[in-house]
Amino acid sequence: MGTLTLPETAPTRTLWGEAGTDYRPRVQITPQAVPADVAEQADADARTIARVLAGDSEAFAILVTRYSDPVYRHALNMTGSADVAEDIVQQSFIKAYEHLGEVRGRFDAWVFRIVANGCKDWLKNIRRTHTSYEEDDQPSHLATPDEDLDRSELRVDLDRALAQLSDSLREAFIMKHVEGRSYEEMAEMLGSTVGALKMRVHRAREALQAILEEKYA
Amino acid sequence: MTMSDRTTQPGDDLPIRPRGRDVPVPPAAPLADREVPLRSDGASAELHAWLDGEGAAPRQADGHLTPEAELWSRIATETKVRREVRTPPHVAAQIMAALPTARPAKAEPVVERPLAAPAPTETSGLHLSYVAAAVAGATLVAAGVLLGRLLG
């Protein structure tokens, strides 16, 4: 059973964390609650969902702990903003809770789709309301002074380059190269085909390379 | 557009605005999927195969990585760091605190939903079996034919 406790102090808001900052979730779960095998994990999710539907709302913390990291990473890389990513993840999990009885198949794929759609909606809205890309719009928390200067520069340039891709190309590149998913897993989560996703990732690489190679290659 | 072009865009020297929430703004017109040409040369195919984990890294004659492979090695270092980003711990607490008090509704599975039988009508006390209905129908047809012959 998961017990959720609030952190004693609010953490410093940085993307990459600070030395000594413990970002491990404060939710205590039993070791067997996170099985390695996907099928076992799906079964464990189904049991957790049954508990929540039976009235044990605190059990939902197990699902939040188990899946918040991958969906947060996705939202962070899609939007480029930790604040926006937090909002999207929070709203998505609340929506998932409200519709938990409608889960069919894998919970992680289902909640991922909610988050992915939230990111696309946000990008659509932000593009509709802004017409220019400004230097100042880069998130300030990306800068961490004690990091290697070269990597820091590439990090900012990569963010800018990713921002120039279409949503679908960016999503495919992030899932493949940032989240480290296989094409098969991506196809399952996005409801697409391996061939189509390979094409999207290849196009994303070509676009990123064209943007970055003048400076780095 | 190249990165060097980007650094000279008008507006880059604007005064820094106060930051309430850091909201990056993507370009107004991002590259559409089909606007990105796919190179079909052997070097490009070798590079993509390597990035897909299906081959060796492309190298120059002197054994060093090609400039493109070198770039992607650096990008991989960056993406690896991003893969280790964790959700700030207060997010989980905020989610749990914001959950509605109402228990989520159980959706009734379609396959287990009982078929709705039509409500019995109590309009008359007559109960007609299929056989009786067939006999009655045939009788009516025969009577119609007979009446037609008599009148004709």
- pLDDT (tens digit per residue) in A136-191: 444 444 444 445 566 678 889 999 999 999 999 999 999 999 999 999 999 999 99
Could you give the dihedral angle defined by the CA atoms of residues A35, A36, A39 and A40, in that order, rounded to the nearest 10 degrees? Answer: -20
Residues 3-62 of chain A with CB under 8 A from chain B are 4-7, 10-11, 13, 15-17, 22-27, 52-53, 55, 57-58, 60-61
Q: Looking at beta carbons, which residues of chain A come within 8 Å of B45?
A: none
Would you list the domain boundaries of chain B?
Answer: 39-95
CA angle A13, A15, A17 (to 5 degrees): 75
**Beta-carbon-side half-sphere exposure of residue B134 (alpha carbons within 13 Å):** 3
Nearest chain A residue to B21, by CA? A83
Q: What is the pTM of this model?
A: 0.65
By CB neighbour count within 10 A (0-12 exposed, 13-18 middle, 19+ buried), where does B4 fall?
Answer: exposed
- pLDDT (tens digit per residue) in B37-91: 666 677 888 999 999 999 899 999 999 999 999 999 999 999 999 999 999 999 9
Of A64-68, B11-15, B50-54, B112-116, the range with the lowest mean pLDDT is B11-15
CB contact under 8 A, B92 and A17: no
Interface probe for A, chosen from B82, B101, B108, B111 (most Cβ of A below 10 Å), is B82
Confidence of residue A11 (pLDDT cuts 50, 70, 90): very low
Nearest chain B residue to A210, by CA? B2
Q: Looking at beta carbons, which residues of chain B come within 8 Å of A13?
A: 88
Whether the CB of B77 is below 8 Å from some CB of chain A: the reply is yes
What number is the average pLDDT over the span B7-16? 39
CA angle A162, A165, A167 (to 5 degrees): 105
Size of chain B in residues: 152
Smallest CA–CA distance, residue A40 to chain B, in Å, is 22
Q: Looking at beta carbons, which residues of chain A come within 8 Å of B44?
A: 206
Let me know: does A181 contact A80? Beta carbons within 8 Å.
no
Q: Looking at beta carbons, which residues of chain B come within 8 Å of A99?
A: 104
